[in-house]
Amino acid sequence: MPELTYRDALNEALREEMERDENVFILGEDVGFYQGSYKVSRGLLSEFGAERVKDTPIAEEVIIGSAIGAAMGGLRPVAELMTVNFSLLAMDQIINHAAKIHYMFNGQIKVPLVIRTPQGSGKQLGAQHSQQFETYFVHCPGLIVIAPATPADAKGLLKTAIRDDNPIVFLENQNLYGMKGEVPGHDFTLPIGKATVFKEGQDVTLIAYSNSLYIAQQAASELNKKGISAEIIDLRTLQPLDMETILASVEKTHRVVIVSEAWKTGNIAAEIAMRIQEAGFDLLDAPIQRVTAKDVPMPYNKHLEQAALPHAADVVDTVMAMA
């Protein structure tokens, strides 16, 4: 099985789907000539031409609005937003149009649209370019939200997303693009809405997604040295949530810590905690805990930025306090 970086796994998924279906096309700022701000669309313009790899103006509402129209007309657009921070400029298109058209037209019109965008913190990009907005999208009915952590999951879920008839927000963490991992071959896909047990354990369940998976992984390694066996659930899809996998793990470990790099207040971790509380209260031996970013605009200063973010040591301390 070949080893690819996260960005190359995404690139491979795009290429394979464009080869498979002539209705699939890419649009966004600098996706063509510049080959993508993170080089995810590298080589696709020369291979498929300007009709299927379209550079757009620097206008996010135009990018998403055009993609919605194309999807309504029977095409399968993959729209790249250079960063999730710019999605705020297209929120009317995403929330009021992409998410609602299928319902407002009584199911007669579909919007098979994928919105790819990087998010995340830790690279000193300042308060306006270091945010995570998954909770905004998860809150809106009609949208599917995917946040893969590994190169294999990035490829398998992007291919499935492109084939799906629903509008999908596909969140990529900017810290993961260079990460390498084994990636299956040509027609590899993964189901939407299915979490995975990334690591089995007995004493506590760590629930994570995207880059926070690796915070949980590092914490699990440290906890193992202290005699605590942590199970890690990688959500992969945030909407819909795979509560079956989550509850099966809680039934085994009886303790839960949810790890997220988004702000604490209103974090999707609170939604997950409440769903566990509603469906599995009797399984718990301790209150559910969250390890998240601080509720502050992200500082530019390197040390302050790191102080605002969650780390493996925070997870370890939280678990030790529970135990």
195 and 234 in contact (C-beta within 8 Å)? yes
Q: In CATH, what is the architecture of 196-322?
A: 3-Layer(aba) Sandwich (3.40)
Residue (of 32, 102, 103, 104) closest to 71 by Cα position: 102
27-65 as b/e: b if 16+ CB within 10 A? bbbebbeebbbbebbbebbeebeeebbbebeeebeebbb
Query: How large is the average pLDDT for residues 309-321?
Result: 98
Q: Does position 77 have pLDDT exceeding 90, yes or no?
A: yes
Q: What is the mean pLDDT of residues 202-226?
A: 98
Instruction: List beta partners, residue 230.
Output: 204
pLDDT of residue 283: 97
For 3-182, CATH gives: 3.40.50.970
What average pLDDT does range 293-314 have in this prediction?
97
Mean pLDDT value of segment 15-20: 98
What residue ranges do the domains of the chain occupy? Answer: 3-182, 196-322
Per-residue pLDDT at 1 exceeds 90: no
Q: Please state, in angstroms and rounded to a whole number, the distance separating the CA atoms of residues 180 and 214.
A: 13
Token readout for 95 is: 């929330």
Mean pLDDT, to the nearest integer, of 222-236?
98
Q: Are 158 and 170 in contact (CB under 8 A)?
A: yes
User: Given this model, what pLDDT does residue 130 score?
Assistant: 96
Q: Do domains 3-182 and 196-322 have the same CATH topology?
A: yes
Average pLDDT over residues 112-124: 96
Q: Is residue 323's pLDDT more than 90? A: no
Q: Note the pLDDT tens digit of each residue in 131-179.
A: 999 999 999 999 999 999 999 999 999 999 999 999 999 999 999 999 9
For range 259-278, the mean pLDDT: 98
Per the prediction, the chain carries an average pLDDT of: 97
Residue 262: is its pLDDT beyond 90? Answer: yes
pLDDT at 185: 87
List 60, 80, 134, 231, catalytic entry: 60
Of 169, 167, 84, 91, nearest in space to 133 by CA:
84
The proportion of the chain whose per-residue pLDDT surpasses 70, expressed as a percent, equals 100
Q: Are strands 204-208 and 237-239 parallel, antiparallel or unpaired?
A: unpaired
Residue 317 CA to residue 291 CA, distance in Å, equals 10
Q: Check whether 286 has a pLDDT greater than 90.
A: yes
Please state, in angstroms and as integers, the Cα–Cα distance from residue 57 to each residue in 38, 80, 82, 116, 138, following that order: 18, 12, 12, 17, 27
- Residue 186: the pLDDT is 82
Q: Name the pTM for this structure.
A: 0.97
pLDDT, tens digit (0-9, with 9 covering 90-100), for 87-99 = 999 999 999 999 9
Question: pLDDT at position 201, please?
Answer: 98
pLDDT tens sequence across 170-198: 999 999 999 999 999 888 999 999 999 99
**DSSP assignment string, 70-117:** HHHTT-EEEEEPS-GGGGGGGHIIIIIIITTHHHHTTTS-----EEEE
Counting DSSP H helices and E strands in the chain, the numbers are: 12, 14
The reply to whether 60 belongs to the active site is: yes
| C-alpha distances out from residue 206 to 5, 61, 114, 223, 318, Å | 25, 37, 29, 11, 11
Catalytic one of 16, 97, 102, 129:
129
Whether 213 has a pLDDT exceeding 90, the answer reads yes
- What beta strand segments (E) does the chain contain? 3-5, 24-28, 53-55, 76-80, 114-119, 144-146, 168-173, 180-182, 196-199, 204-208, 230-234, 237-239, 256-263, 289-293
pLDDT computed for residue 196 by the predictor: 98
